[in-house]
Amino acid sequence: MERKIDISPYLDLIHYDGVLAPSFDTLYQLHFRHTQTIPFENLSPFTAMEMRLDVASLLEKFTVHGRGGYCYEHNILFQYILEQVGFKTTGLAARVRLNVPDDVIAPRTHMLLLVEADGQQWIADTGFGGMTLTVPIRFAMDEVQDTPHGQYRLTRDNGVYRLETRVQEAWRILYAFDLTPNYLPDYEVSNWYVSRHPASHFVTHLVAARAAKEGRHVLHDTLYSFYPRAGEMEKRKLHSIDEIKGLLENTFHIGIAEVVGLDARLEALIVAD
């Protein structure tokens, strides 16, 4: 029998002391607090560090080392937390469509969750970078749903579901998925590719994102962007290792002290820019 893991350090991390019951209110609060607290980042594959997806390792990475992660790390842990609370969940896999040409078939490299609460189904996804859902949305087609960080909707075409978000009055497809259940071995195979293949975006580029009360912070290589909930977007280039590391620590709240080889990778980014 798999050893049950204490989730109290996670609850302390996201500052949740509410009721632990499989209700939509609990799901909403856990999802919101998770995305406000744990950043999205790829420092491990970017610096060739080991990527482990077991719950104990993920919990330690987030709560002890002050790190974030990408979709598999976020959603595998979040799925475990939800199931310990009593939710019925299904892990799903998606093909990313954001910034992918229409004629390109992308692999299923993104993880999301289908969750049951209060007699309805909900899409939960705590790990889609700068456009991640900050709260769950109802699994209902063609319904515009407001979240604290923008509007989303689900559409369906020939049995394929799509998550879309509104960007400057236009709808953009983030990813496409079906309802085939996926399990840890499925995610481990995809994670190996995403974290190790020399052509993987997470191996070749630096990515970080954090949702905050005032808006979204996004870092891609040496370009920092801030998307406020109201007002004009801000962008600026970063020109030094210290500037990037300071941003990672102070704006994205990522613990970088134990990230071996980070300076060399950042130097390479700056030289190539």
Q: Which amino acid appears at position 72 of this protein?
A: Y
The DSSP output letter for 76 is H
Rounded Cα gap, residues 214 and 35, in angstroms? 13
Q: What amino acid positions are annotated as catalytic residues?
A: 71, 110, 125
Sign of the dihedral through C-alpha 34, 36, 38, 41? positive
Confirm if 219 and 209 have CB atoms less than 8 A apart. Answer: yes
Give Rg (Cα) of the chain: 18
The closest of 47, 41, 27 to 258, measured between CA atoms, is 47
CA 55 → CA 47, 111, 258, distances in Å?
22, 15, 20
Tokens encoding 226: 């801030």
Confirm if 133 and 78 have CB atoms less than 8 A apart. Answer: no
CA 264 → CA 48, 137, 179, 250, distances in Å?
12, 40, 42, 20
Confirm if 154 and 163 have CB atoms less than 8 A apart. Answer: yes
SS3 107: coil
